[in-house]
Structure 1
Amino acid sequence: MHSSDNRGSWEFHPEDTLTEDTGNFPSTLAQVNFSGQKKAGSAVDVPGLAYRNEDIMSESWRKHRKHVFVLSEAGKPIYSRYGNEEALSSAMGVMMALVSFVQAGGNMIQSIFSDEHTVVFLQKGPLVFVSVSATRQSEQQLRSELLHVYHQIVSMLTQASINRIFERRKNFDLRRLLFGSEKVLDGLLDVMDSDPSFFLSAVQCLPLPSSSRDALSHILQKAITPDLVFSFLISNNRLVSVVQEKTVLEDARLKPSDLHLLFNLIRVSAFQAGEIWTPICLPLFNPDCYFYAYVAYLDPPECTVCLVLLSTDKEAFYAVAECKRKIEEAFASQNALQWVANTQLYYVNDIGVANLKHFLYKPSKVLDHYRQMPQFTCPEMEVGYRSQQERIRLLDLYRNMYNRIHCSSRPLKLIYHSAGKETLLAWVTSKFEMFACFTPLVTKKSAISELTKLLRWLKKEEDRLFICQLPRYSTALHPGRSSTDRPNTSDTGLFSLL
């Protein structure tokens, strides 16, 4: 199957799929060969790829702040964040031996603590995930990151396929299917260190006047085709607009974690202009079925505004591409891309709150049905936090505060913490969560007083900072046209996912 235009092309290669004895299903990145323009210095140059063949005996390898390993129950190496999996096969064998030894006693290993490291284990079906961390993150936070890694693998293969493979061959080498997609896992681990959306379990929206956002959503609502389920507009890893099919059930709604995985796939994929059509599983929506994602940038060569259309029909490329054409025409007639391009990001100096350096704010009831789309907002980093090292240091402080205030054994409502370079305050109520960073000498009373001013500003700007409505559309479903990961299985369009 092949499609092309003057901007790029995509192509499926049957030789990259599995043979019949392991199930014939696509690996998201292994099967898609995209040829188009590549933007120099773009997101495809994922930090960390240089570590793939790092010497595991070197001091630099040992000093990484966090290692992540993935292996099968048979002890087969699947993935390592740093170093080659083959070179680490004996170390992964030891990890599996620990898991098996504890299981033999009727228990399940959870974690190991030392003076300098925390080792956390997560077992999901036939896969074992291990994090070795020198950070101050809690066991729960590290396990949550491992769960994201598992979900990213599921997004490429589906849970049902992984389980079926290892039921047939316990010593199967899963790297055959994940070959070429290591950069997706590398990119995920990189961004989890520097993006608060993961530990907040929320998405960040692009600040935009509500009238402009509504107009963009209206354009997406009008460009539909049968079996189209979600339409997203994304700019610089921030959500601009989302519309969804009306029949999407409440108990099968899209979760922030699924959006994080989708954003990560787009961020590290090797395309900037043209179109891509690829299967992707959204594990928290349904871990056993594929959507088919149409991804295209609307503003080449800048490539900052990305359109993502999710369909349940694997044969719908041309129909979905026609939706994109209609959206482009509507955007051009209204000069809509300029609304996004002219968006004013905000800084703490724009707010007028004394001594404030940064904050994270997650409201509880922006939407009528809040659980559908948890969101957060934060200002751009000030000069002192713009280096990667300082940004990660600040987020580590936020993560520590988040863990303390949400501790299951002793949950808190308010924490005031004075650190060396800053003072932090965490405040959780029934209406919001706030994590704020002030200059180092601010008192608790003064910090709370300043946050009250900040909350008034946030309330005034709510319509600009958040998506307050989720527009919906209706399409005519055609049973039997969509596809799951199982070959030769009859489906029922959208309802096969629900």
Structure 2
Amino acid sequence: MESKTASESAPSPQADQFSECSSAELPDVSEELAEMRLVEGLERQASSSSAGGNGETGGGGDIGGGGASALFADEDEEASVLAVADVAAAPPASPPSAAEPQQQLAALRSAAAAAAAEVSSTAAAAAAAGGSSAAPGGEPAAPAEAALAAHPRHVFVFSTAGKPIFCYRGDESRLAGLMATAKAILSVAHSKGHTLKHVRSGPHRFVFLERPPLCLVGVSALAEPPAVMRMQLSLVHGQIVSLLTSTALQAMFARNPGYDARRLLGGSEGTLRSLIHSFTAAPAALLGAYPSLPLLGGVRQALGAALAAAVKATGAVHGVVVAGGAVAAACPCPGQAALQQWDLLLLLNLLGASPSLRHSCEAMTPICLPRFNPAANLHAYIRYVDAPTQTAIVLLCGGMPDPGALAAAAAHWQQQLEAIGALHALVQCAAREQQLAGGGGRDASSSGGEGALLAVDALPAAAGGGRFGTTPLLHFIYKLSARQQYVMSPFSAPLLEGGLQQSLIVAYSQLRAAQYEGSTLGGGALQRLRYEARPRFCLLGQVNQDTELYLVCDPLTVAAEAAALAARLGMWLHARHDQLFSLQ
């Protein structure tokens, strides 16, 4: 797919300030001869019919290295060090000796045979190499092959001993051979002194993330950037830790490396699948930010003041008000740092994927927030004030909280907001957001209200708004970098009916990764302005010191017109930060 790209060090609406190149594809990594021989040798041993792939390890300069460090520079210290060390610490590969291929084949053979008794290693490895859905000779496809062929995205989780734990699609027990092959490839890479980051085979890209005692593998045929996929896997690992705590995981596998952890995650598969599904439905993971609910400034201030009083009265560590799958207000106790966006994303996913919590109206559940404290649980008191819109107050407490005091504080919070009408405004806004998110907002401007604030057809013409067909603007995302929050326009009915939601999220991830490609940790984007023209739409990304703005326009929009539109829309959004974001 050919497209035009343009980049500048500073935003400008002038067309002659854009330098164009022939392709919008993200730069690929340089492949070293040793890595190519390693992966090709493994594939030849695994299957005589598999297609040749190319391997990319920590020795190369791929997008998951320096670019990923800057793209997600606000990760915790451990994750940041891992992202940099994968590239910087791995020694260059030396040419293999004559005995090394035999050693590698022996390691693969023994690992696959031990963990894949019921699935032949040949069929499993052929699936890992992106084979067809039919086995050689016209025989029915193996389970691993069928799983890869049926869905464009997969996530596998297994222990460092090769035991299957979770898979996004299908039955993990039937994909044991595929996980054993992945484990064997990781082991061979470790024996060479490398950290394997991703392997590309045909249309599929396999991304690896090792968080002992767990290994995670993401598979995608959607051309997602490896840096974004690694962040997705990090969130999946965080959700597992939020259910079990890192202390419990380490203790279990220290006692028994072959422990079957599936029993502990029984009943939680829906939470993990909901998180993985959100990766191509919302831009939270690719932005490294949590969604903020647009509200009138007075409503948000009332929410924040009442929430702070509830936190103080109960001695809670943090308080959060959620509505419509977004954060309306968040307040830490005095002297406590605000929750990181990764923990808030895990909390939002837990609430959205647990209908039993909404049906009970009032509940208390343990949850571990990995960036806050990965070794212990907090007690989350949850009170829903409107279940259909998922409007609730969450009080996070340590130690042994008093349920009666928490219930009394939440009831008082609700009464305060009902008395001034703020709770009604919050629920109405969340309901409108849900309606627009479902494609029901064909004429958002006619209904008014806070929920229609960011709909494209409700924006003023001066900001680039208008009905579909009268403005080149189709969709936008706006991030406040300092607060790690974002808002976006609802996906309009034409975009949803055209099946473009997933395509737009992937395109946003490619655009942002390209802007940050090659930058160092904390160095920010190297391309302040980037334009890409594609067959069905065009994109423009604008990164400033405090904000990021990403636009999708109709395919006839030229670079200068898109840049001018971004400048107008950015000014309009900047003037309404108090309505869009929680600034307390």
TM-score range, shorter chain: 0.7 to 0.9
C-alpha displacement of 1:194: 0.7
Q: Name the structure 2 match of 1:396.
A: 506
Q: Name the structure 2 match of 1:16.
A: none
Q: Name the structure 1 match of 2:566.
A: 451
Q: Name the structure 2 match of 1:214.
A: 301
Task: Verify the 8 A CA contact 1:217 1:242 in the aligned structure 2.
Answer: yes
- Using the size of structure 2 for normalisation, the TM-score is 0.67
Q: Name the structure 2 match of 1:243.
A: 331
Q: Matched residues, percent identical?
A: 29
| Residue number among 313, 319, 323 corresponding to 2:405 in the alignment | 319
SS in 1 for 2:264: helix
SS in 2 for 1:194: coil
Note closer, same or farther for the CA distance 1:341–1:303 as it changes in structure 2 (3 Å cut).
closer
- Does the alignment pair 1:333 with 2:443? no
Note closer, same or farther for the CA distance 1:129–1:244 as it changes in structure 2 (3 Å cut).
same
| Residue number among 344, 356, 361 corresponding to 1:259 in the alignment | 344
Task: Verify the 8 A CA contact 1:205 1:377 in the aligned structure 2.
Answer: yes
Note closer, same or farther for the CA distance 1:303–1:376 as it changes in structure 2 (3 Å cut).
closer
Q: Name the structure 1 match of 2:6.
A: none
C-alpha displacement of 1:304: 3.0
SS in 1 for 2:317: strand
Task: Verify the 8 A CA contact 2:204 2:221 in the aligned structure 1.
Answer: yes
Q: Pick which of 102-111 and 435-444 moved more.
A: 102-111
C-alpha displacement of 1:314: 3.5
Q: How does 1:300-449 map to 2 (within 5 A)?
A: 300=387, 302-343=388-429, 344-345=450-451, 346-351=454-459, 352=461, 353=464, 354-364=471-481, 370=482, 373-387=483-497, 389-408=499-518, 411-449=526-564
C-alpha displacement of 1:60: 6.4
SS in 2 for 1:403: helix
State the distance in 2 between where 1:171 and 1:109 align.
23
State the distance in 1 between where 2:250 and 2:147 align.
36
C-alpha displacement of 1:389: 3.5
Note closer, same or farther for the CA distance 1:297–1:55 as it changes in structure 2 (3 Å cut).
farther
- Using the size of structure 1 for normalisation, the TM-score is 0.78
- Does the alignment pair 1:199 with 2:286? yes
In terms of fraction of residues, the more helix-rich structure is: 2
Task: Verify the 8 A CA contact 1:65 1:134 in the aligned structure 2.
Answer: yes
Task: Verify the 8 A CA contact 2:144 2:175 in the aligned structure 1.
Answer: no
SS in 2 for 1:94: helix
Task: Verify the 8 A CA contact 1:110 1:122 in the aligned structure 2.
Answer: yes
What do the CA deviations read for 1:272-299 (whole angstroms, capped 9, x no partner)? 2321211111111121121110112112
| Residue number among 73, 82, 100 corresponding to 2:169 in the alignment | 82
SS in 2 for 1:87: helix
Q: Could you list the runs of 4 or more consecutive aligned residues of structure 1 that deviate by over 3 angstroms after TM superposition?
A: 57-61, 224-227
Contiguous gaps of at least 5 residues in structure 2: 1-140, 430-449, 465-470, 520-524
State the distance in 2 between where 1:387 and 1:121 align.
34
State the distance in 2 between where 1:388 and 1:286 align.
43
What do the CA deviations read for 1:294-315 (whole angstroms, capped 9, x no partner)? 1121125x35311111001334
State the distance in 2 between where 1:91 and 1:115 align.
17
C-alpha displacement of 1:357: 1.0
| Residue number among 270, 280, 283 corresponding to 2:367 in the alignment | 280
State the distance in 2 between where 1:288 and 1:447 align.
47
Q: Name the structure 2 match of 1:25.
A: none
Task: Verify the 8 A CA contact 2:303 2:422 in the aligned structure 1.
Answer: yes
Note closer, same or farther for the CA distance 1:319–1:57 as it changes in structure 2 (3 Å cut).
same
SS in 1 for 2:235: helix
State the distance in 2 between where 1:184 and 1:421 align.
33
Q: Name the structure 1 match of 2:246.
A: 159
C-alpha displacement of 1:429: 2.0
| Residue number among 312, 315, 318 corresponding to 1:230 in the alignment | 318
SS in 2 for 1:86: helix
One-letter code of the match for 1:349? Answer: D
State the distance in 2 between where 1:304 and 1:157 align.
25
What do the CA deviations read for 1:352-398 (whole angstroms, capped 9, x no partner)? 2141111111133xxxxx3xx31112111122222593211111111
What do the CA deviations read for 1:180-209 (whole angstroms, capped 9, x no partner)? 101111000001111111111112211111
SS in 1 for 2:488: coil
State the distance in 1 between where 2:325 and 2:199 align.
35
Give me the CA root mean square deviation: 1.9
State the distance in 2 between where 1:60 and 1:140 align.
24
One-letter code of the match for 1:195? Answer: A
> Which structure has the bigger radius of gyration?
2
Q: Name the structure 2 match of 1:129.
A: 216
| Residue number among 153, 160, 165 corresponding to 1:73 in the alignment | 160
